[in-house]
């Protein structure tokens, strides 16, 4: 019996490609950029693995071959996949919850620390030969320890960030669609509205899902409601931020510094950020550890295995 065809749209970690080639007729690619003509490439495929930069909208899904039974996204976020359109065609969608929470929270903490302590500016100064020794007023940032941290979206990643931040003695506040059980809050202060949440956010970290409901959530009005000189970090989705508003706030000092790992329309980065010293820019590294990416790959492969065997996968997007 021939092995099912599995189309992979991007280069994956070696261990995952080896598993795919062992268990499937795997159509792999050496490219790290979005695959062109996905529909044609998917001819005869029963399963597909895509990535966050691959837009599987309703039009593309409608055009996929009838053979496709499952789309696996190499990410926890799935706003780039029209799940309703897939479901209408009887195509299951699986993702990678849980396994990247710690790595992404570490990245958010890195952004907070680097932005608050002006680490990017310091590194650029040294590389440019502009450092001439210690000085009492050089690159003075702000402490993270003891500050009030606001987390927008206290899901798995947000809770991991809160756990790490407690090690810095930070006071944890959060805003979400509903209050979490006390055991998940772990002492964090819930705010049901922006009105009470934003004024306490000396540091704000974004961890809400993408999509129409949260698009440009961090807008001019919300930025104005934050304490002057606050720090912002985004390791969730670039669409959460109104770039024009954040750039203006970084220039005015309303926001002292920001750390960004994701961008609206990535890999495009709003050019307004590029000339600013008080923003740390990373190329979507949230889950980029060997251990995490391997775990993500095995999870999507497990999901594909389950769907093609007629079972309901644990990582099914519902």
Grouped pLDDT means (10 residues each) for the chain, 318 residues: 95 98 97 94 98 95 98 95 97 97 98 98 97 97 98 98 98 98 98 98 96 96 98 97 98 98 96 98 97 98 98 97
What the block records as the tokens of 233 is 């970090």
How many CB atoms neighbour CB 1 within 10 A? 3
Reduced DSSP (H G I as helix, E B as strand, rest coil) percent helix, strand, coil of the chain, to 5:
35, 20, 45
Q: State in Å, rounded, how far the first CA of the chain is from the last one.
A: 31
Q: Is residue 314 part of a domain?
A: no
pLDDT at 1: 77
Same-domain status, 244 and 302: no
173 in a structural domain: yes
Alpha-carbon separation of residue 217 from 142, 153, 316 (angstroms): 25, 12, 27
Cis peptide before 138 (omega within 30 of 0): no
Q: What pLDDT digit, counting tens, does each position of 36-61 carry? A: 999 999 999 999 999 998 999 999 99
Tell me, yes or no, whether 65 lies in a domain: yes
Nearest-angstrom CA–CA distance, 210 and 205 = 14
Count the domains in the chain: 2
Residue pLDDT, tens place only, 307-317: 999 999 999 99
**Which of 148, 266, 268, 277 is the catalytic position?**
266
- Both 135 and 230 in one domain: the answer is yes
Residue-number span of the structural domain to which 69 is assigned: 5-99+290-308
Q: Confirm whether 316 is domain-assigned.
A: no
* 313 lies in some domain: no
> Which CATH number characterizes residue 184's domain?
3.40.50.720
Q: Could you read off the pLDDT of 181-212 as tens digits, one per residue?
A: 999 999 999 999 999 999 999 999 999 998 89
In the annotation, is 237 catalytic?
yes
* Residues 157 and 92 reside in one and the same domain: no
Q: Are 243 and 268 in contact (CB under 8 A)?
A: no
Given 19, 147, 175, 237, which residue is catalytic?
237
Is residue 140 a part of any domain in this protein? yes
User: Do 48 and 130 belong together in one domain?
Assistant: no
Catalytic residue among 284, 291, 293, 298: 284
- The answer to whether residue 291 is catalytic is no
Based on the fold, state whether residues 134 and 174 are members of the same structural domain. Answer: yes
Number of residues in the chain: 318
Which pLDDT score is estimated for 14? 97
């Amino acid at each position: 019996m021939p092995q099912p065809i599995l189309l992979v749209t991007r280069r994956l970690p070696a261990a995952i490609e080896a598993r795919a080639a062992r268990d499937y007729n795997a159509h792999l690619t050496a490219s790290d950029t979005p695959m062109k003509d996905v529909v044609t490439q998917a001819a005869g495929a029963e399963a597909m693995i895509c990535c966050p930069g691959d837009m599987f909208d309703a039009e593309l899904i409608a055009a996929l071959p009838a053979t496709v039974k499952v789309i696996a996204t190499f990410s926890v976020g799935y706003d780039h996949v029209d799940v309703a359109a897939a479901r209408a065609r009887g195509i299951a969608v699986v993702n990678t919850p849980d396994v990247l929470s710690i790595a992404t929270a570490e990245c958010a903490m890195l952004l907070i620390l680097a932005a608050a302590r002006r680490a990017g500016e310091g590194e650029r100064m040294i590389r440019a030969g502009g450092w001439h020794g210690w000085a009492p007023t050089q690159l003075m940032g702000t402490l993270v320890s003891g500050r009030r941290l606001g987390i927008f979206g206290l899901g798995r990643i947000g809770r991991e960030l809160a756990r790490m931040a407690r090690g810095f003695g930070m006071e944890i506040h959060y805003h979400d669609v509903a209050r979490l059980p006390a055991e998940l809050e772990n002492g964090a202060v819930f705010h049901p509205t922006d009105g009470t949440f934003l004024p306490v956010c000396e540091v704000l970290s974004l961890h809400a899902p993408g999509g129409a409901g949260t698009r440009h959530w961090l807008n001019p009005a919300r930025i104005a409601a934050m304490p002057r000189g606050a720090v912002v970090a985004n390791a969730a989705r670039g669409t959460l931020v109104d770039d024009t508003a954040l750039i203006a706030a970084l220039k005015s000092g309303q926001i002292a510094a920001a750390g960004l790992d994701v961008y609206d329309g990535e890999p495009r980065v709003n050019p307004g950020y590029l000339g600013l010293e008080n923003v740390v820019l990373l190329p979507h590294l949230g889950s980029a550890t060997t251990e995490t990416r391997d775990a993500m790959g095995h999870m999507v492969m497990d999901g594909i295995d389950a769907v093609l065997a007629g079972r309901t996968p644990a990582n099914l997007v519902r």
